[in-house]
Amino acid sequence: MASASLQFFAFILALFGVFGDIAATLLPNWKVNADVGSNIITAITQMQGLWMDCTWYSTGMFSCTLKYSILSLPVYIQVARTTMVLSCILSAFGICITTVGMKCTRLGGDTDSKNNACFAGGICFILAGIFGLVPTCWYTREIISNFLDQTVPESSKHEPGGAVYTGFISAGFLLIAGVIFCSSCFKRQQGAWIYPPKQHHFPSTEQESNAGYSLKDYV
């Protein structure tokens, strides 16, 4: 019962991780630059994401431009696109697989099949967390190095946006969920290895009959 509750808790964490992963991939605020200027009325907030760049004006106007060219993008943005999409796909697969493998569901067949499915789903979550953690770390490093560079003008410096923090938190949720799923299955298998079922040996009827005949011969 405790293992089933722990798996359900890990499944909830994985759901939050999947939704956060998808949101971080689509949000345009991976890095933000606020240019107030001399007048607060003309304040501009520039946001850059993986797929589009957006500009928000204090007057209420909002405009976005899609990034159509892939080869013209920096390497870290190309890598972030690829790894974030892979993270979303793997986490979605993990949700489907663990739904079958959890103890609180009636899918997946016998106990061994459910354990294998649960372990495979945990591996998917761990890989999804790693794929989600790599681009956020690399993207944050590029933002910080650009911000600390004295040769870059102040108008071109940015700060990490909400999508980066969402990606960090989602990757952490996926990693924790994957570790919980894998460890729960490993504990069951380890218990079976340490305490194997006892085998009871019963004497065969043939030996009893032979023993009976030998006793009669001596009488």
pLDDT 10s digits, 13-50: 999 999 999 999 999 999 988 655 555 555 678 888 89
Q: How far from 157 is each of 79, 85, 145, 188, CA to CA, in Å?
A: 21, 27, 10, 52
pLDDT 10s digits, 194-209: 445 555 444 554 444 4
What pLDDT is recorded for position 41? 52
User: Tell me, what amino acid is at 201?
Assistant: H
What CATH architecture is 4-27+74-194?
A: Up-down Bundle (1.20)
Residue pair 30/139 in contact by the 8 Å Cβ criterion:
yes
Residue pair 138/79 in contact by the 8 Å Cβ criterion:
yes
**At 187, is the secondary structure helix, strand, or coil?**
helix
Q: Kind of pairing, strands 62-66 and 31-35?
A: unpaired
pLDDT 10s digits, 136-153: 999 999 999 988 888 888
Kindly list the strands in the beta sheet with 31-35, ordered across the sheet, starting from the edge strand earlier in the chain.
62-66, 52-57, 44-48, 31-35, 159-160
* pTM attached to this predicted model: 0.78
Q: Is the pLDDT of residue 186 over 80?
A: no
DSSP at 152: S
Mean confidence (pLDDT) of the chain: 80
Q: Is the pLDDT of residue 155 over 80?
A: no
What pLDDT is recorded for position 79? 93
Alpha-carbon gap, residue 72 to 148, rounded angstroms: 24
Tokens of 206: 């043939």
What pLDDT is recorded for position 25? 94
Residue pair 27/54 in contact by the 8 Å Cβ criterion:
no
Q: Which of 24, 25, 13, 21 shows the shortest CA–CA distance to 178? A: 13
What pLDDT is recorded for position 108? 63
pLDDT 10s digits, 88-115: 999 999 999 988 877 777 776 777 788 8
Tokens of 219: 């009488």
